Amino acid sequence: MFPFRTTVSANASPVVTMSLIVVNIGVYFLQLGLAPRAAREFIMSYALIPAVYGHPAVARAYGLDPTNFLPVISNTFMHGDALHLIVNMWTLWLFGLPVEDRLGPWRFLLFYLVCGVAGSVAHLAFNLDSAVPVLGASGAIAGLLGGFALMHPRAKVAVIQPIFFVFPLVFHLPALVFTGIWFAFQILGGWTTFGGGAAGGGIAWWAHIGGFVAGLAIALWLTRPPRHRGPWSRTR
């Protein structure tokens, strides 16, 4: 189920959304331009490796500092391959525009970064034994989905669902329905990683879940109705 359009149009220029896309693409091409050894060192230095923080011996073996938390945010600007980058940047563009339009550039940037960090922290919490490097903007973008659903609850999302990988069906789903279905799949995927089972097919499910929940929580706080002043209240 791939989203390709929403019914929300942005009025302001999405400066931060476009800047984030440029930075992500720039980092990806930087990775591509590195020699194999330098590329490995780049990944080890800036991707998120949970076991580095959960097991000091792993940190020593890799020559990494377990008190360095830069990868918690730096990993969100890295991508493993072109498809990973394209899907994330398209989703960032699609949902970033209306959320940035609602929040304004600086609050949107803070929203995006906090959701990215929340996704990283959630992945760490559920995968402290994993020595597999994790990278990608998916946690931050999951936060955009949560924010979009609460900020634009009446919006609709047009999605494509391939049937037997050949016949594409187009659906127009309410934003809350689309994000609810998406989140249910993330919970199901995260559940499969419990008990030392599958690694989730290379997908950081808990980063998605953590980012989404953070986006929901922040959007809920930002969109809360103003407090009603009773007859006994007064200003000072």
Strand 167-174 relative to strand 156-163: parallel, antiparallel, unpaired? antiparallel
123-147 pLDDT, tens digit per residue, is 999 999 999 999 999 999 999 999 9
**Which CA distances in Å does 207 have to 10, 26, 115?**
27, 23, 9
Q: What global pTM score does this model have?
A: 0.90
**Tokens standing for residue 172:** 């127009």
45-98 pLDDT, tens digit per residue, is 999 999 999 998 889 998 999 999 999 999 999 999 999 999 999 999 999 999
Domain limits, the chain = 7-154+176-222
31-47 pLDDT, tens digit per residue, is 999 999 999 999 999 99
Query: Does the structural domain 7-154+176-222 have CATH classification 3.30.70.330?
Result: no
Q: Which residue has the higher pLDDT, 164 or 135?
A: 135
